[in-house]
Amino acid sequence: MRLTAEEFELLKLTRRYVTTDRRYLKLGGFLLGMSGRDRAKFMRKLGKAAYRIAPRELDLLLDRGWRESGTAAWLIAVAGRTEFRERLGELLLASKWPYAGQAYCIALASFGTSADADLLVAYLDRYLPRPDLVYDQTDALGALLLLDAKAGTDHAARFLAPDGLWQQWTAQSPRKDPADPDEYREFIELLCAFADESAQHRPIRRRGATPHGR
């Protein structure tokens, strides 16, 4: 069966940005175990890819499965493409795919504005009352706490109040032994720091070219 032009383009994009070096499997907690030459090489490639990929190509990847969508969210975070804020918020709230939500939270935390906090709050308001669902509640709370710490705000306070939604969710959730919320904040902070470092590896700009990104 012949591929359509869009399917063929998506296949090329996936090979270039998602499956290269098994990138989609490494974006997340795996990054924190990287060191030395491997870490530097991965950052360099990630940073260059984030600034080279076009907005339309990111749109195509975001519409696909968890591998493509999660990788696209990381590329968005690295390049600081805030024009995707609302799209990421919608994807996070929909929770259509497993594994991709953490990447959406990292992108929103890296943008670091009150608008991003509002999207994380909307997610927690919807999914903390659902102890039967173990989705991305911990990553969303960690991202929101990180935003609060940076901006001096207290969006997360009502979730963490005694008998608040966080306590209710952890008490009834099948997730065992939940960590202290600050540990989730530190985890997201470390991943955001990785994205920030990767952002330093912009491709060499050609004369007359207009780069994507911030």
Q: What is the pLDDT of residue 207?
A: 46
Nearest by Cα to 203 from 62, 73, 75: 75
User: What burial letters (b/e) apply to 28-48, b meaning 16+ CB within 10 Å?
Assistant: beebeeeeeeeeeebbeebbb
Encode pLDDT of 30-53 as tens digits.
999 999 999 999 999 999 999 999
pLDDT tier for residue 176 given thresholds of 50, 70 and 90: low
Report DSSP letters for 138-160, one per residue. Answer: HHHHHHHHHHHHHHT--TTHHHH
Q: What percent of the residues of the chain are helix, what percent strand, and what percent coil, each to the nearest 5? A: 70, 0, 30
Q: Tell the residue number behind the tokens 């929770």, with chain if given.
A: 95
- Name residue, tokens 């659902």: 130
Whole-prediction pTM: 0.92
